[in-house]
Amino acid sequence: MLVINNDIPAKNVAELIKLMKANSRELELRIERKRHVAASVGRTVQEHGGGGDAAHSYKGSPPALTDVMGGQVSMTFDNITTAWTLAKAGKLRAIAVTTAKRSPVAPDVPTLAESGLPGYEIGSWQGVFAPAGTPPDIVKRLNTEIVKIINMPDVQKRLLELGAEPVGNSSEEFTGVRQRPRS
């Protein structure tokens, strides 16, 4: 998810790029002196005609999101599970998701592709792993029980509240997701 400081007047990616191209004094100071959080933000925007410096990095989401909220930096990409709660609370502004399709958690937030940056897709996933050599019947039993839990209505609801899109699939399908070629 691409989130920006609330003081930046852009309401979407196109407006953000337009502001960066205009290189107004206010935005120039914000970008050059405060810098972006992640190099990928600046590279993505620069590749599509925006300006700005993209050299700042953080050791994790909490300090990065805190600095975006506080105005020390302009923007960052972060997992929807950490950024969406803050965006929903109005502490920062979500202007795009980085996945190929809109998130059911934030259906009004467009994808970067919808925002004029085609071919951009970054998502995250979590899974449960067993040690190599675990007997197949144990793997199957664990998978069956975990999928039952994931499919429980209260678990589905809670995961969606946290910004996660719950998927319970087979270990073979999960292996395919992990090994999907990157473009």
Write out pLDDT tens, residues 12-37.
998 988 887 775 545 544 444 444 44
Parse the chain into domains and list their residue ranges.
Answer: 2-96, 136-178
CATH code of domain 2-96? 3.40.190.10
Would you state the pLDDT for residue 50?
47
Higher-confidence residue: 71 or 138?
138
For residue range 56-106, list pLDDT tens digits in order.
567 778 888 998 899 888 888 888 888 998 999 999 999 999 888 898 889
Mean residue pLDDT across the chain: 78
Which residue is it, tokens 């002196």?
33
Of 7-11, 82-86, 113-117, 169-173, where does mean pLDDT reach its minimum? 169-173
Q: Residue 103 in contact with residue 7, Cβ under 8 Å?
A: no
> Residue 29, exposed/middle/buried by CB under 10 A (0-12, 13-18, 19+)?
exposed
Residue 49's contacts (CB-CB under 8 Å, 6 or more residues apart) are: 17, 21
pTM: predicted TM-score of the whole model, two decimal places: 0.70
